[in-house]
Amino acid sequence: MSQKLLEVTNLSMHYDTLDGNVDAVKNVSFTVNSGESFGLVGESGCGKTSVAMTLLQLQPDNSVITEGSIKLEGKELIGLSENDLRKVRWDSISIVFQGAMNAWNPVIKIGEQIREAMREHYPQNSKQENINKINELFKMVGLDESISERFPHELSGGMKQRAVIALALSCDPKIIIADEPTTALDVVIQDQILNEIKKVQNLLGLSLIYISHDIAVIAEMTDKIAVMYAGSIVEIGPTQSVFESPKHSYTRALLDSTPSIRGEKKKLRSLDGEPPSLINEIQGCSFSPRCPSPSSGCKNQSVEMGLIQIGEEHFVDKCCSECV
């Protein structure tokens, strides 16, 4: 059943800023199968959101994609015209933005904002059909029908976020990208929203790309996980395999800094130092300055970065392949 839906290969992209080029995404490759949920985890500023934006070709004007390809069902997205992209957006890939509080236009009613997208992709639908569908979606995410007639500022944060999920589902996409959808919410609501996302994903058989800095949430939500550091993927594999035997020292550091309820008691460790600035080109392993147990190879910075396979579908960066 698992057929390739989205295939990203060797994607590299930088931002052209006043201070120089910021290499936000370096040589990133991954695939998402249909019905699968894929997690992207890393610290703030490691390029997760840049990857998400590139998938929809919504990157800011000053970004430059230097190489790589993004194939959706075998169709290349990079280089498509704006008009062709419009057909892909929301129809095939929809997104739940980071800080979805601001995702609503403050002066347009919620229902109208959802209908607007449906009008674009289902021009043949009547207004009543659209309204019926919205009501159905609202029921699915646990919202009242009356929300349609409200303005965004009349809703609570959690309600807005549920409505955003309904919005994301409105045009029956094949993939939903959820970019830190719960960051601005309190813990109880966070949990509800996560359950809601998981529920609709299973119900509709969608693929999900879940982006977060919280490795615990990722563990709960995804089948496959990629760990990003300084613009590159340093470890990628099935969630279970990565969690049970993390190979990269950054993955381990991330896991060590997260409390676990189920597992044995352990001391939490924090990672010293800060992520490197992406403006300067980094020689060798970008993580080596912060690595608790750097190997001789990455210390003298002679090893080029790149993934090698270590288990079934489990890849890790070369420099850390030997540290266990």
Partner 1 sequence: MENQNIERDIKATLKKNWRLFRQSRLGITGLVIVIFFGFLAILQPILFLTNVWDEATYHPVVGYDAEQVTRTVVECPDEYPTREYETKEDCPRVDEVNIRYLKAFNIQVEVGDLYESNVQPAPPSSRHLLGTDSLGRDIFSQIMEGSQVAFLLGLISAIIGVGISTLLGTAAAFYGGKLDTYLMRQSDLVLMLPSLPFLFIISAFAELKVWHLAIVLGTLGGLGGSVITIKSQALQVKVKPFVDSARITGGSKRRIMFSHILPNVAPLALLYMVFSVTGAIASESVLSFLGLLNIDMSWGIMIYLAQTEGFIFTGLKYWWLILPAGLAVTLLAGGFYLVGRGLDDVFNPRLRRR
Partner 2 sequence: MLIYTVKRFFEMVIVFFLFLVISYLLFNAIPGNAFSSLLLNPLLPPEAYQKTIEAFGLDKPLYERVQLYIINFFKGDFGYSYTYYPRTPIDLIAERLPRTLMLFSIVNVIAFYTGFLVGKILAWRRGSKSETWITIGSVFSYTVFYPWFALMMLWFFGYKMDWFPLGKFLVPEKWYDSPYTSDEIFYTLILFVTVSSFLLFLVFIFTRNIESLQNRRNVRFLGLLSLFALAAMYWSNGEAALKRFYAADIAFHMILPTFTVTLVAFAGTALLTRTTMMEVLKDDYILTARAKGLSQKRIRDRHAARTALLPVVTSFIFTIITIIDGSVLTESIFSWPGMGQLILEAVVQEDIPLAMASFSFIGILALIAHFIADISYAFLDPRIRIKAEN
User: For binding to partner 1 (CB under 8 A), which residues are involved?
Assistant: 15-18, 60-62
Reported residue count of the chain is 324
Q: Which does 2 bind (CB under 5 to 8 A by kind): partner 1, partner 2, none?
A: none
Minimum CB distance to partner 2 smaller for 106 or for 273: 106
Which residues fall within 8 angstroms of residue 74, CB to CB, at 6 or more apart? none
Minimum CB distance to partner 1 smaller for 15 or for 38: 15
Residue pair 48/105 in contact by the 8 Å Cβ criterion: no
Distances (CA, A) of 167 to 34, 163, 195, 300: 21, 6, 17, 50
* Strand-pair partners of 94: 176
Residues 8-47 that bind partner 2 (CB under 8 A): none
Stretch of residues binding partner 2 (CB under 8 A), selected from 109-117, 221-229, 276-284, 305-313 = 109-117
Stretch of residues binding partner 2 (CB under 8 A), selected from 10-18, 111-119, 216-224, 254-262 = 111-119
Segment (H or E) for 198: helix 187-204
CB half-sphere exposure, 108, CA atoms < 13 A: 11
The answer to whether residue 126 forms part of the interface with partner 2 (CB under 8 A) is yes
Whole-angstrom distance, CA of residue 195 vs CA of residue 256 = 25
Pick from 10, 17, 102, 260 the residue near partner 2 by CB under 8 A: 102
The answer to whether residue 123 forms part of the interface with partner 2 (CB under 8 A) is yes
Minimum CB distance to partner 2 smaller for 170 or for 239: 170
Minimum CB distance to partner 1 smaller for 60 or for 74: 60
Token pair of 6 as six digits: 């989205």
Distance, C-alpha 257 to centroid of its chain = 21
Pick from 2, 10, 16, 58 the residue near partner 2 by CB under 8 A: 58
The distance of closest approach from Cβ of residue 202 to partner 2 in the complex, given in angstroms and rounded to an integer, is 24
Residue pair 142/194 in contact by the 8 Å Cβ criterion: no
Contacts 24+ apart (CB under 8 A), 289-297: 290/250, 290/253, 291/249, 291/250, 291/320, 292/249, 292/253, 293/249, 293/323, 294/249, 294/323, 295/319, 295/320, 295/322, 295/323, 297/322
Residues 156-195 that bind partner 2 (CB under 8 A): 167
Q: Which does 17 bind (CB under 5 to 8 A by kind): partner 1, partner 2, none?
A: partner 1
Q: Which does 75 bind (CB under 5 to 8 A by kind): partner 1, partner 2, none?
A: none
Minimum CB distance to partner 1 smaller for 18 or for 188: 18
The binding site for partner 2 (CB under 8 A) comprises: 56, 58, 82, 85-91, 94-95, 97, 99, 102-108, 115-117, 119-121, 123, 126-127, 130, 151, 153-154, 167
